[in-house]
Chains A and B, each alone.
Chain A
Amino acid sequence: MDGAMVTPGRTAGLFAGAAVLRLAIFTLLPKLPDLLTGRVEISTPVTSFKRLQEGLFLYNHNVSPYDGGVYHQAPLFLPLFSLLPDFSSLPIFTYLLYTAADLLSALALWKIADSGEAGSSALFTSPRKGKRWSGFIIAALFLFNPFTVATCLGRSTSVFTTCAILHAIAKAVSGAPFGAMIALSFASYLSMYPLLLLPPLILLSYDRQRPERATKSGLKFAATCASVVAGVLAVLFQMSSLVTGSWEFLPSTYGVQLTLSDLTPNVGLWWYFFVEMFDSFRSFFLAVFWLHLASYVGGLTMRIRRQPLVVLTLLMGIFGIFKPYPSISDTSLFLALVPLYRHVFPLMRYTFVIAAVILYASFLGPAFYHLWIYAGSGNANFFYAITLVWGLGQSLLVCDLMFAVLRDEWEVERPEMVGKEIRQI
């Protein structure tokens, strides 16, 4: 359980093991990835690999990939996947790409864990920080998490967003603010919602600047970071419009996320609401849902100012519950960051309930979906009910983690209260 025990051999073994597991399933069980690709829990309209292939086919035949309203993903995926050999004849290259993305994510996570940012940030040092897991364990927990493996096998393009977000955090904690901003721009370009992570990420980069070239003024630093993000995004958009030949990708990718025009069921809470919504209130409630999602950023950033990485983790959990097209890949990202807080686990109160609820929802979710869609013996409410439970489990985890972190901070201020029952007022 100590970082010193990790040898290069063990590292290589871990990565090789994870890669072999993925490639073995890809090659030995070729039916399974295709089954997973079709699951609503893994593939949402904005990340589905099937839709990516449709867009790729249109793109390679010189038709706008957004014709037909199936493809809603970023345009730069298309040249990337066109470079790979054809998926139908040589799928191994695609498998390698996805496996590599997962390994890169794990690498970034390893760096974050080894930096010790979770236990002692620039403004706050937890008294419990000694009790932590090494990067090896945290990377292993990520790589062998069934949700991560399923996402990778389902070839959902959210794998790349996850990779970009983790790298943005890794860059920020290692004192490379520009690298962090560039990585976050890529994540935002791919999925839009990571843009909301910008304020805590700027704070994290600000706190972890290298002393030799630190910018003292917070405002100046924030403005520089924001302009870097804007600049990179502008370049990416310009490239996208060159690739697709028009700006129509904006409404087809980000517009779909903003207006939820594709109501395919998923594990989130949006689709059911907007199936039932009165048309005249649709635009209002779309705005309410987005504002709700965005309103956490400011409050959390201010409340846990001293530990920006906690804010990022909690926001990741909140996005996994409340964003328009969530999938288990968002949960896997959140669950990848949670083990960084090994030191506050003893302060959490509902670990058993949370674990039970998440397991319960993970097993019953697919069953209820099957009952609704294939067996016809259930209806949409079955599936929606289980996604509510799923959301409940995740929000319990978010709340409990937040409670534990705040309690940890509070005990530094009030050392006499350590270990005593508290009551919220």
Chain B
Amino acid sequence: MARQNSRQPPPEKPSDRRRRSHIILSFWLIVLCLGLPIWWKTTTIYRANLPLQEMLDWSDGKACRPVFPLHISIQANALQEHEAQHLLRLTQHALDDLNDFSGHHLRLQLAPPSGTSHYDRDSVLTIRLAPGETSTANFEPHEPVLDITYPPNGIPSPTSSSSPLATYIASQLRSAFAEEQAAISSLLSASSIPSDHRPQGLSPDASDALSKRPARSLRYAPTYHLTFSLFTGGPLPSSWDIEGAIDEYMKPVLDILSPIHNFTIDTQVQLYAAPGVQNEVLNKEDLSSFINAAEWPLSPSIGGAPTINFIVFVGDQTIATPSQQSSSEGDDASAPASHSWLIPQWGTVYLLPLPHDTTHLAASALKQPFLTFTSHLLSLTGIPQSGSLPLRLSTLARIRSADLLLRASSTLGSLARLALALPSISIPRSVADGVAKTIRHLRLACETLGGPEGLAHARVAEAEAERAFFEKSMVGQLYFPDEHKVAVYLPLLGPVAVPLVMGLINELKAWLKRRRDTAEAGKGKKRE
């Protein structure tokens, strides 16, 4: 008996047993009462409610049909009221026959007869009809006005159903807006707007211009950064009157563009800068490697605003022959040899030959380079090639607003698809706010498309949509599948959990066994 006692430990005291249960309970209470709520609170993914269906509608083009109603007023001071009305009707007819793109609609209206130099600010273009020798059409260079003269017999009689003058005006208008129409329609076709809004046929000429335009111009950004650099092969010139030159030649263009873009500017002077190509005469192939990207401190467009570089290179190098230049159309044609070339989506290089002892470049010496730069800046911002400047600018504004509208819509769509595809991604409140703001501004932009407010709203919408899509806290969790959570939890919590769980199981087993024993003992007693 004593022997057996020494092998088998004596039964546990009830007080010890109770103490052990209490200890296990104390650990489990901490786990359950503190650990679980904290786990729930710190790892639940916050998903703000997004109007997913509305976002998808926008990206599918169901929410907004981009329509550009363009009002064109006709000033015909020399015509009778009813004659003018009739001409207008006929022209509108001719226009409608020519137009196959419903989103881009030219609507004519008769301007009240008034002073000659006045033009209607509400309409995109004012046509000033005046009697003349033959049919001619001329754009006013500084106002959105098209002067059309007509031969004396050009006025249609009230009964006729067609008139050469009406057809002439219609074709003039159409050619004036052809580029814009083509640009917008290509934007729409590139997006997922349903095909019934698209024009059926594009002239090969227009499609050629279209393919060139986006290739050359920079992607839209609300702000562009302009870098003006003076590179010289030697020690001179070491200073330039850049502020004066910018104020005089660049500022007017920047002011004109200011409703569409903001610009920031910096300048630099680099002495002893060796170009990438040392030839005396630069061939077309050399131009692409002229920029010495490795050594010239030209800031790349990483983050912030995209940079447009304007480089004045002081040196003796010349460009081979003007006829070989295909990329410097904006350059002064009267110059015996080209001095500059445009690098698509990047900027412009201007070769400036100077006497070797020039120490300071005056603003006047920079006139030619800067005129080149301004014209290249316009083509880099994607402004249309033809038409008068005011008309080109308003066209640019419309193209940009359409572009922004579509991009904001497609960003919304991507965000909605992302939120649907990744149920574990967190969506912070700021994203939901951004989406709501985007949709509000998109709606406003859609209503006022074609006008300046439309552009402003589209800009806000695009910026908000991008901000919401690239929300930092969302990107971090983008690629965090559920399997990875095992790798996060297990190494630490696994070892901790083993003694906790085993302790609990043993305790429960012992408790069940005790209950069974007492039950059996009770039964045994009854039987006795």
List which B1-28 residues lie within 8 A (CB) of chain A.
6, 10, 19, 22-23, 26-27
Set A278, A283, A288: member contacting B35, Cβ < 8 A: A288
The answer on a CB contact under 8 Å between A280 and B477 is: yes
In the complex, what residues of B have CB within 8 A of residue A278's CB? 480, 488
Chain B CB within 8 A of A146 CB: no
Q: Does B421 contact A (CB under 8 A)?
A: no
Q: Chain A residues with Cβ under 8 A from B34's Cβ? A: 287, 291
| B35 and A280 contacting across the interface, CB-CB below 8 Å | no
Q: Which of A281, A294, A414 has the most CB of B within 10 A?
A: A281
B43 interface residue per 8 A CB criterion? yes
B488 touches A291 (CB 8 A): no
In the bound complex, what is the Cα–Cα distance between A278 and B42 (angstroms)? 13
CA distance A391 to B480 in the complex (A): 32
Smallest Cβ-Cβ distance to B29: which chain A residue: A298
Q: How far is the CA of A299 from the CA of B35 in the complex (A)?
A: 16
Q: Number of A residues contacting the other chain (C-beta, 8 Å)?
A: 20
What chain B residues lie within 8 Å of A287 (beta carbons)? 34-35, 38-39, 42
CB distance from B11 to the nearest CB of A (A): 13
B-chain residues with CB within 8 Å of residue A416 when the two chains form the complex: 6
Assembled-state Cα–Cα distance A298/B426 (Å): 37
B333 within 8 A of A: no
Set of chain B residues within 8 Å of A285, measured between Cβ atoms: 492
| Chain A residues whose C-beta falls within 8 Å of the C-beta of B426 in the assembled complex | 280
Q: Which of A280, A292, A298, A299 is in CB contact (< 8 Å) with B43?
A: A280
The residue on A at minimum CB distance from B485 is: A281
Is A303 an interface residue when CB atoms closer than 8 A count as contact? yes
In the complex, whether A223 has a CB less than 8 A from a CB of chain B is: no
* Cβ of A361 to closest chain B Cβ, rounded Å: 22
Interface residues of A in 115-144 (CB under 8 A from B): none
Q: How far is the CA of A416 from the CA of B3 in the complex (A)?
A: 13
In the complex, the answer to whether B35 meets A291 with C-beta atoms within 8 Å is yes
> How long is the Cα–Cα vector from A414 to B496 in the complex, in angstroms?
32
With contacts A302-B19, A302-B26 taken as known, whether A284 is within 8 angstroms of B43 at the C-beta atoms is: yes
| A299 in contact with B42 (CB, 8 Å) | no
Establish whether residues B43 and A302, one from each chain, have CB atoms under 8 Å apart when the complex forms: no
Q: Given the complex of chains A and B, what is the CA–CA distance between A299 and B477 in angstroms?
A: 38
A284 in contact with B26 given A278-B488, A291-B35, A302-B19 (CB within 8 Å): no
**Contact A291–B23 (Cβ < 8 Å):** no
Minimal beta-carbon separation of A252 from chain B (angstroms): 22
Question: B30 contacts A303, CB within 8 Å?
Answer: no
Contact B38–A281 (Cβ < 8 Å): no
Task: Say if the beta carbon of A295 comes within 8 Å of chain B.
Answer: yes
Q: Which of A288, A294, A303, A305 is within 8 Å of B493, CB to CB? A: A288
Q: Which residues of B contact A303 (CB under 8 A)?
A: 19, 23
A281–B480 Cα distance when bound, in Å, is 12
Contacts A280-B476, A287-B35: A294 and B43 contacting too (C-beta < 8 A)?
Answer: no
A279 at interface (Cβ–Cβ under 8 A)?
A: yes
Chain A residues whose CB sits within 8 angstroms of the CB of B19 once the complex forms = 302-303, 305
Q: Are A298 and B30 in contact (CB under 8 A)?
A: yes
B-contact bits for A284-313, CB 8 A (1 contact / 0 none):
110110011011001100110100000000
Q: Which residues of A contact B42 (CB under 8 A)?
A: 281, 283-284, 287
Contacts of A281 in B (CB 8 A): 42-43, 488
Look across to chain A and name the residue whose beta carbon is closest to the beta carbon of B488.
A281
- CB neighbours (8 Å) of A279 from chain B are 476
Chain B contact residues (Cβ within 8 angstroms of A): what range? 20 to 34
- Find B39's partner among A284, A299, A302, A305 (CB 8 Å cutoff): A284
Least distance between B135 CB and chain A CB atoms (Å): 71
Given A280-B43, A281-B43, A299 contacting B38 (CB threshold 8 A): no
Taken together as a complex, chains A and B put the C-alpha atoms of A305 and B22 apart, in Å, by 12
Residues of A within 8 A of B23 (CB): 298-299, 302-303
Chain B positions within 8 Å of A299 at CB level: 23, 26-27
Cα distance A284–B23 in the bound complex, in angstroms: 24
A425: shortest Cβ distance to chain B, in Å? 9
A298 to B6, CA, bound (A): 34
| Complex: A298 Cα to B33 Cα, angstroms | 14
Q: How far is the CB of B471 from chain A (nearest CB, A)?
A: 14
Residues in A neighbouring B26, C-beta threshold 8 A: 295, 298-299, 302
Is the CB–CB distance between B492 and A302 below 8 Å? no
Q: Which of B286-303 contact A (CB under 8 A)?
A: none
Of chain A, the residue at the smallest CB distance from B484 is: A278
CB distance from A339 to the nearest CB of B (A): 28
Q: Which residue of A lies closest to B22 (CB)?
A: A302
Instruction: Provide the bound-state CA to CA distance between A3 and B38, in Å.
Output: 51
Q: A241-282, CB under 8 A of B: which get 1 and which 0?
A: 000000000000000000000000000000000000011110
Whether B38 contacts A284 by the Cβ 8 Å rule is: yes
| B34 closest partner in A (C-beta) | A291
Determine the distance from Cα of A4 to Cα of B44 in the docked complex, in whole angstroms. Answer: 64
CB of A27, distance to nearest CB on chain B (Å): 48
List, in ascending order, chain A residues with CB within 8 A of B35's CB. Answer: 287-288, 291
Partner of A288, one of B6, B27, B476, B492: B492
Considering only residues 142-165 of chain A, those with a C-beta below 8 Å from chain B are none
> Smallest CB–CB gap between B32 and chain A, Å?
11
Most A CB atoms within 10 A — which of B26, B35, B426? B26
- Minimum CB distance partner of B13 in chain A: A413
- Complex interface: chain A residues within 8 A of B22 (CB): 302
Question: Which residue of A has the minimal Cβ distance to B24?
Answer: A299
Q: In the complex the two chains form, is A294's CB within 8 Å of B38's CB? A: no
A416 to B496, CA, bound (A): 35
Q: Is the CB of A298 within 8 A of B27?
A: yes
- Minimum C-beta distance from A420 to chain B (A): 10
Complex Cα distance, B254 from A74, in Å, reads 57
In the complex, the answer to whether B30 meets A295 with C-beta atoms within 8 Å is yes
Is A291's CB under 8 angstroms from B43's CB?
Answer: no
Q: How far is the CB of A395 from chain B (nearest CB, A)?
A: 13
| Whole-angstrom distance between the Cβ of A196 and the nearest chain B Cβ | 12
Alpha-carbon separation in the docked complex, A280 to B493 (Å): 17
A302 / chain B contacts, CB cutoff of 8 Å: 19, 22-23, 26
Q: Take A287-B35, A287-B42, A288-B493 as given contacts and tell me if A294 and B488 are in contact as well, using a CB distance cutoff of 8 Å.
A: no
In Å, the complex CA distance between A303 and B18 comes to 11
**B382-439 interface with A by 8 A CB criterion:** 426
Which of A278, A285, A295 gathers most chain B CB within 10 Å? A295
Q: How far is the CB of A230 from chain B (nearest CB, A)?
A: 20
- A278's nearest neighbour on chain B, judged by CB, is B488
CB-defined contacts of A288 to chain B, threshold 8 Å: 35, 38, 492-493
A295, closest chain B residue (CB):
B30
- Measured CB to CB, the nearest residue on chain A to B496 is A292
Contact bitstring A62-88, B, C-beta under 8 A = 1, else 0: 000000000000000000000000000
- Rounded to whole angstroms, the CA-CA distance of A193 and B481 in the bound complex is 37
B86: shortest Cβ distance to chain A, in Å? 72
Q: How far, in angstroms, from A349 to B34 measured CA to CA in the complex?
A: 36
Residues of chain B within 8 A of A292, CB atoms compared: 496
Determine which of A291, A295, A414 lies in contact with B38 in the assembled complex, contact meaning CB atoms within 8 Å: A291
B484-506 contacts to A, CB under 8 A, are 488, 492-493, 496
Least Cβ distance of B29 to chain A in Å?
A: 8
Not counting A280-B43, A280-B476, A287-B38, a sample of 14 additional A-B residue pairs whose C-beta atoms are within 8 angstroms of each other reads A278-B480, A280-B426, A280-B477, A281-B42, A281-B43, A283-B42, A285-B492, A287-B34, A288-B38, A291-B34, A298-B26, A299-B23, A302-B19, A305-B19
28 sample A-B contacts, Cβ–Cβ < 8 Å, listed by A number: A279-B476, A281-B42, A281-B43, A281-B488, A284-B39, A287-B34, A287-B39, A288-B35, A288-B38, A291-B30, A291-B35, A294-B30, A295-B26, A295-B27, A295-B30, A295-B31, A298-B23, A298-B26, A298-B27, A298-B30, A299-B23, A299-B26, A299-B27, A302-B22, A303-B23, A305-B19, A414-B10, A416-B6
Seen from chain B, the residues whose Cβ lies within 8 Å of a Cβ on chain A are: 6, 10, 19, 22-23, 26-27, 29-31, 34-35, 38-39, 42-43, 426, 476-477, 480, 488, 492-493, 496
Closest 8 CB pairs of A and B: A298-B26, A284-B42, A287-B38, A283-B42, A299-B23, A295-B30, A302-B23, A284-B43
